Amino acid sequence: MSIPKHPAVSEWVSEVERLTEPSSVHWCDGSDAESEKLTSQMVDAGTLIKLNPKKYPSSYLHRSSPTDVSRTEHLTFVCCANKEDAGPNNNWMSPAEAKEKVGRLFRGAMRGRTLYVIPYLMGPAGSPHSKAGVEITDSPYVVANMRIMTRMGRAAAEAIDAGGSFCRGLHSLGDLSPDRRYILHFPEEETIWSVGSGYGGNALLGKKCFALRIASWLARQEGWLAEHMLILGLEDPSGEVTYMAAAFPSACGKTNLAMLAPPLESRGYKVWTVGDDIAWMRPGPDGRLWAVNPESGFFGVAPGTNLKTNPNAMRTVQKNSIFTNVGLTPDGCPWWEGMDDPMPAGTLDWQGRTISGNGDAQAAHPNARYTAPIRQCPSLSPRWDDPQGVPISAILFGGRRARVAPLVYQSRSWPHGVYVGASMASETTAAATGKVGVTRVDPMAMLPFCGYNMGDYFAHWLSVGARLSNPPKIFHVNWFRRDSDGNFLWPGFGKNVRVLSWILGRVKGKAKACETPIGWVPDPKDFNADGLDLSPGAVDALLAVRRNEWSADLPIQEEFFKKFGDRFPADLRDEHRALASRLA
Ligand code: SAT
Ligand code: MN
């Protein structure tokens, strides 16, 4: 059966029906026939525009409401009984207040609309890592995206019926007004309420809401990690594959790294994609950390993606994909800034307007997205769906930083690595509403996604490490360092394989490194920069550890850590002090 029979599901659906008063109810089975029917209804309603079937078969464009284009962190809340448990990293509302205030917005919200019930599974079928959810939504666009991003249908129904436990996600578009928009998490009830937005991270409740915020809460109780990380396998010239997980904030290149196509001069290395956004990782009986990708699709940033920066993504989105807020060419193809060919005349912008000739008009919104099935990725790892997951040998933390952080360095130990993750900083991007380019501390790239007090989260990281006899080595990378004229020092993209291969060398105990106050950095003399066409002195500048810059960063970290009071682990305070004294 493709639809769960467990009474807990039908009872909850009835309850939501009484609250939201839809005109009809549709239980999604995830079938092709269902998808075709829903899609053609959306085309008729104008929610989707069919793209050129020769160039982009079975693919569609969706234009969102202009004020609903990214995550809204200020409208996102954790609603647990005790405010301290949500921590200073989350907005908090008491569960009673939240239900009263936002319950009102759900009352009658689905009048004249269809209520869709989406049973879904996060993670491979039959995996001890996996968890089930049910999302109720009045948005067929959400159904179409969830069908790509999660496992809908039989695997989900079986998991729900077998266990009877599932994450409840209630979503309504409401009136799409930011004034009546709330993304609420009730971790103690494994429940999500989202109203007033149709945007990915706010509305595809399996993704950030369940797989990160609720899952991180569960993971702490159950002894595992739910992380904002890509997972890749790096195959070396001998054919051996080593798995790495990497955390970068939204729109900082996780998808590009996960699908990295090494250039010819790196012959012999190959990257296999396991996931591009979320990793669920747990200690295995062998003392290693094992990871699965809970998702089954990509919700990637379109602008800047092209055959040079990410050829695998370009091939992945060639069919069965949904494009949101990109431009539309006169021959019915998606177009965004940074695509390989120049914008064809007559292209419409992301709101369907003709583009004026003055040259600064944007065709795509900077946070325009594609939703595409992972199975279409040419670099897809044969183990992406392995119920056991893959063993992680290296964890990378990375920010977008013009200064301070070198291209790559290795932490001194697991606790020091946790400190490196906890203190990482990055410049903000268009993935969230607000100012772009502001540097903020974003620990493990989880600041918007950790569903509980980050002081406890850091302690949990330390305790997971203590349970691993063979923990991954922890690194920090920064592709975004600039020279004094503001130019990027590092070419990035495919060339990042140079950094991955140094990391692999460290994992295998083969690559040389220099000890610095912040950790182990490649020796500029033996860092392979041949053929990269870097400016003179770039390697030294990329790898430099400038004590004055680092010392200036310490008070910023300290101020951030202070917010967590007693919940901030003493071991990390010690790491902070030790770094300060190494820098002095
Ligand atoms: O949150 S989304 O899934 O919409 C994308 C992101 O910001 O990482
Ligand atoms: Mn993300």
Name the residues around ion ligand 2, CB cutoff 5 A: 250, 277
Question: Does 252 qualify as catalytic in the annotation?
Answer: yes
- The residues near 365 (Cβ < 8 Å, ≥ 6 apart) are 69, 325, 326, 350, 430
3-state secondary structure of 388: coil
Assigned token pair, 369 = 């997205």
Region at 537 (left for phi over 0; alpha for psi -120 to 50; beta for the rest): left
- The residue whose C-alpha atom lies closest to atom 5 belonging to ligand 1 is 201
With the most atoms of ligand 1 within 8 angstroms of its CB, the residue from 141, 204, 208 to mutate is 208
Catalytic residue among 252, 333, 377, 450: 252
- In DSSP notation, 106-121 reads HTTTTTTSEEEEEEEE
355 CA to centre of ligand 1 in angstroms: 27
Choosing from 250, 276, 400, 446 the residue with most ligand 1 atoms within 8 A of its CB, the one to mutate for a pocket test is 250
Residue 533 φ/ψ, nearest 5 degrees:
60, 40
Residue closest by Cα to atom 1 of ligand 1: 201
Top-level CATH class of 227-295+381-583? alpha beta
Query: Are 506 and 498 spatial neighbours (Cβ–Cβ below 8 Å)?
Result: no
Q: How confident is the model at residue 52, as a pLDDT?
A: 98
Amino acid at position 63, single letter: R
What span, in angstroms and rounded, lies between the C-alpha atoms of 115 and 117? 7
Nearest Cα neighbor of 321 from 37, 48, 47 is 48
How many angstroms is it from 230 CA to the middle of ligand 2?
A: 9
- Distance, CA of 305 to CA of 437 (rounded, Å): 20
Query: In angstroms, what CA-CA distances link 85 with 94, 121, 461?
Result: 11, 27, 16
End-to-end CA distance of the chain: 65
- The secondary structure of the chain in percent helix, strand, coil, rounded to multiples of 5, reads 35, 25, 45
Distance CA 17, CA 12 (A): 9
Name the nearest CA neighbour of 217 among 199, 191, 197: 191
How far CA 440 is from CA of 73, 176, 419, 425, in Å, comes to 14, 29, 16, 5
Ligand 1 pocket check for 431: Cβ under 6 Å? yes
The mean pLDDT values, 10 residues at a time, for the chain of 584 residues are: 91 98 98 97 98 98 97 97 98 98 98 98 96 98 98 95 94 98 98 98 98 98 98 97 97 95 88 98 98 98 97 98 98 97 96 83 95 98 98 97 96 98 94 91 97 98 98 98 94 95 96 97 88 91 96 95 98 98 96
Phi, psi of 289, rounded to the nearest 5 degrees: -100, 125
Residue 70 alpha carbon, nearest atom of ligand 1: 4
Give residue 434's identity as a one-letter amino acid code: G
Q: How far is the CA of 526 from the centre of ligand 2 (A)?
A: 34
Q: Whose CA is nearest to atom 4 of ligand 1?
A: 201
Closest CA relative to residue 271, chosen from 297, 236, 228:
236
Q: How far does the centroid of ligand 2 lie from the alpha carbon of residue 207, in Å?
A: 9
Q: Please tell me the distance between residue 341's alpha carbon and the centre of ligand 2 in angstroms.
A: 27
* 254 Cα: distance to centroid of ligand 2 (angstroms): 8
pTM of the predicted model as reported, rounded to 2 decimal places = 0.98
Backbone CA torsion sign across 583, 542, 270, 322: positive
Q: What is the pLDDT of residue 299?
A: 98
208 lines ligand 1 (CB under 6 A): yes
Beta bridge partners of 26: 116
| 228 Cβ below 6 A of ligand 1 | no
Minimum CA distance residue for ligand 1 atom 8: 250
The residues with which 240 forms a beta bridge, in sequence order, are none
Cα→Cα distances 447→10, 91, 427, 542, Å = 35, 11, 13, 26
Nearest ligand to the CA of 246 is 2
Specify the amino acid at residue 509.
Answer: G
Q: In angstroms, rounded to a whole number, what is the distance separating the alpha carbons of residues 445 and 125?
A: 28
Q: Could you tell me which residues are beta bridge partners of residue 28? A: none
CA 474–ligand 2 middle distance (angstroms):
20
Strand blocks (E) in 153-211 = 167-172, 182-186, 191-195
DSSP secondary structure letter of residue 74: G
For ligand 1, is residue 200 a contact (CB within 6 Å)?
Answer: yes
208 CA → ligand 2 middle, Å: 7
> Is residue 71 within 6 Å of ligand 1 at its C-beta?
yes
Instruction: Tell which one of 68, 70, 71, 194 to mutate to probe ligand 1, the residue whose CB is within 8 A of the most ligand atoms.
Output: 71
Domain boundaries, the chain: 7-46+73-222, 227-295+381-583
Cα-to-centroid distance, 9 and ligand 1 (Å): 27
Task: Count CB atoms within 10 A of the CB of residue 318.
Answer: 13
Atom of ligand 1 nearest to the CA of 250: 8
pLDDT of residue 563: 98
Asked if 110 and 21 count as a contact pair (C-beta separation under 8 A), the reply is yes
Closest C-alpha residue for ligand 1 atom 2: 201
Q: Give the SS3 label for residue 105.
A: helix
**Which ligand places an atom closest to the C-alpha of 73?**
1
Q: What CATH number matches the domain at 7-46+73-222, 1.20.120.140, 3.30.70.20, 3.40.449.10, 3.40.50.300?
A: 3.40.449.10
Query: Is residue 294 within 6 Å of ligand 1 at its C-beta?
Result: no
Please enumerate in sequence order all residues whose Cβ is within 8 A of that of 30, keeping only pairs 6 or more positions apart, or say none.
2, 147, 151, 152, 153, 154, 156
Find, among 112, 169, 100, the residue nearest to 137 by Cα: 169
Phi, psi (rounded to 5 degrees) for 202: -95, -25
Q: Quick one: which atom of ligand 1 is closest to the CA of 200? A: 4
Closest residue by Cα to atom 6, ligand 1, is 250
Distance of CA 385 to the CA centre of its chain: 18
**What is the DSSP pairing of strand 425-427 with strand 439-441?**
antiparallel
Q: Which residue from 207, 210, 252, 324 has its CB within 8 A of the most atoms of ligand 1, so it is best to mutate?
A: 207
Provide Rg for the chain, Cα atoms. 23
CB of 6 shorter than 6 A to ligand 1:
no
Using a 6 Å cutoff on CB, does residue 254 contact ligand 1? no
Taking CA atoms, 525 is separated from 135, 408, 541, in Å, by 54, 15, 13
